[in-house]
Every structure is written in structure tokens, then in C-alpha cells.
Chain A
Amino acid sequence: MRKGQIFMPIVTIGFLILMSTFIFLIFTHQNETKEFFSIGSLQSNIIKNYFESEKVFYYYEKLLEYNEYKTVKEFVEEGAVPDDCNKRWKFNSDCEPDFREYFKQILSEKIEGKYKELGINQEMEVYFTDFSFPSGSNSAKVEYNGEIKIKKQPLINFQELEQLKSCIESSIKEINKCSPESSSGSIYKFRKKIADILDENLEPEEIFLEFEIDTKNSGLGIFS
């Protein structure tokens, strides 16, 4: 046989052997190649993790919402002062209302064990927990993490309540300036709408703060 006649078949066979070797290598390194071929998995995991974090955020938003409704209801039950004051405000004593602190105290009892920090200023901010969603592949590791902090306007307008308190404190002699609902002797009764909430049946409910003050025993020392 002449050289030229066997040359092409040999080259073709060699080429086939080489290609087969490469295909064999791909199959024996399937994990690496699979990872390599399915690029985009990391990105899709990040998107999925973002959705997961959104779910967690929503859970805590609702948790705060429902607990705030319950807190508002309990806040007004005793006139925004401790139980033993019998809805009667008295300045410079334990029965002097500290609205934000009292509200914070009730809310923290409602969500006890579920939060790390709770602050009530112009806005209410609750730091519930941290989230962490790691994603990874052979080529990269990504961790999506952060804090679950819910910030919202409180349902109660504390500034309005503080204005009412200041009005009573500064005008105890002329308490009618502060628009009491009724009076009987030296005892003046107040009733003020402070919030709209949803009750335990998730029906709308208006919440009124009711309290009274005895001008002869107001703690301000004017009539004592």
C-alpha cells in the first residue's frame, strides 16, 4: 500500500480517538462540567433568597401591626396610666402619664422574646432579628444577610397626647381650656379618640382614651 493511501484513514482515526477522549473527560468530570454548564444558578439563588427575605420581612410587619392594635387597646384601658391609678392622672407621681414609655412597656410585653431592640420616637422602630441566606457554587460564595428592622408611624399621635397633658398641667386652674368632656365638682373627665385599629375579628374599631383628673388632688400643688 502506498503512503498516500493510508495517510487520511490514520489521521481520521486519530481525530476520532482524540474527540472520544475529550467526551470521556467531560463525563468523568461531570460535577465540574455540570456546575460549569448550569451557570446562572448562583444568580437565581440570589433572587430566590431575596424573595425569602421579603417573606420574613412581611411576617414581622404583620406581627408588629397586630401587636400594635392590641397594645393600643390595652394602652387606653386604664387611661394611659398604671392599673392602680384607676384611670386618674396625678402629676409628679406614678400616675403621671408617660405615653411613649407606657406604650413601649405594653408593646414589649406583647412581642416578648421576638425582638432585640424597640424604640419609639417620631417613628416606631423594632429590630426583630437577623437573616442570613447563603448561596454558593464551586466558583463563588455569596451570602445575603441583614437585620429585620421594621419602622413605621405609630397609630397613636403621641404629640397630641403630650399637648393635652401640657395643657392640663399649665392650665389646671382653667382646665376647661383643655376641653374636658364632663365635670363633677373638682373631677374633670376627658375622652379623646386616639386611633383606628382592627379588633381580634379584624373588624375596624375606634379607640378612645378616657381619663379623669381631680383638680384638688392633681399633684401640681395648686389646690392642695
Chain B
Amino acid sequence: MKKGDESALTILVSLIVLMIIISQYFIFFVFFPHKIIQPDSQQYIGSEIDLPLMTFVKLNSDLIVISAKNNDYNDLEKKIDELEFDGCWELKIKDRTFNKNNCDIKNPETTIMNIPDYSNNQIKIILNVNKE
């Protein structure tokens, strides 16, 4: 066997081994899914806006109830103005919408929370945040 023939054989064997490894990787990758933790950031956004809404509602539930009852949201509006989210957002309480920056929400991420009022009626609070 000549010298050049040997090196061609080496390359051939290397490539075959490489192909077998890559083939196995793809076969297992596509047809045998396993549980690997790889968070999908888009799916966490919902949870990220849930927590601030819950905190806001829990801290201000009596104020929300009395504002909705009297249809006077002045005090509550000051509390709403203290809320901070990335990008455009709005908060809806019953039929009132609070949009501090008067901006458009084109791709909303929504979370909803209900609280009862003094007469056992439901007050719906909706937070919409623009998904970036």
C-alpha cells in the first residue's frame, strides 16, 4: 500500500465514525425526547406579570373595592401610577382602564385576578403588558 492510500483510508474511517456519531445524535434527538430543563423565556412572562398584579391587588384590595363602589378612582390611581413594567401596559378594573403612558398594546400578555366586593359581587382586574 502506498503512503497516499493510507491517509485516504484514515480520512474515510474518521468520516464514517463522525457520521455515525452525528446520526445517532439526531436519531435520539428527534425520536426519543427526554426531559431536559431549558426554560422558554416567553412562557415565563405570564408568571412574571402575575406576581406584581397579585401583590398590587393584595395590598390595595380594600381601596379597589371602595373605589369601584363609589366609582371614584383618584386615590387608587396614585397607587396604580407607582406600578412599573417594561414597555407599554394597562390595568383594567371593572369598566375603567388605566393606561399611564397612553400607549398602544399591540401584542398583549394578559393576567386576570378577581376579588369580591362587600356585596359578594366580583370585581375583575386585568393587567395587559405589551410582549416584546
Interface residues as binary, A182-208 with B (CB distance below 8 Å gives 1, 0 otherwise):
000000000000000010111000000
In the assembly, what is the distance between CA of A7 and CA of B4, in Å?
13
Question: Does B113 lie within 8 Å of A39, measured CB to CB?
Answer: no
Question: Does A55 lie within 8 Å of B54, measured CB to CB?
Answer: yes
Question: Does A25 lie within 8 Å of B39, measured CB to CB?
Answer: no
Chain B residues with CB under 8 Å of A45's CB are: 43
Q: Does B35 sit at the interface, judged by CB under 8 A?
A: yes
- Top 9 A-B pairs, shortest CB-CB distance: A40-B39, A36-B33, A51-B50, A44-B43, A22-B26, A63-B116, A38-B40, A39-B38, A39-B36
**Per DSSP, are chain A's interface residues mostly helix, strand or loop, or mixed?**
helix
**Per DSSP, are chain B's interface residues mostly helix, strand or loop, or mixed?**
helix
In the assembly, what is the distance between CA of A32 and CA of B29, in Å?
10
Number of B residues near A (Cβ < 8 Å) is 41
In the assembly, what is the distance between CA of A25 and CA of B69, in Å?
60
Chain B residues with CB under 8 Å of A111's CB are: 120
Question: Does A33 lie within 8 Å of B61, measured CB to CB?
Answer: no
Question: Does B116 lie within 8 Å of A66, measured CB to CB?
Answer: yes
8 A-B interface contacts by CB (under 8 A): A11-B12, A19-B22, A26-B26, A29-B30, A35-B33, A38-B40, A58-B58, A202-B65
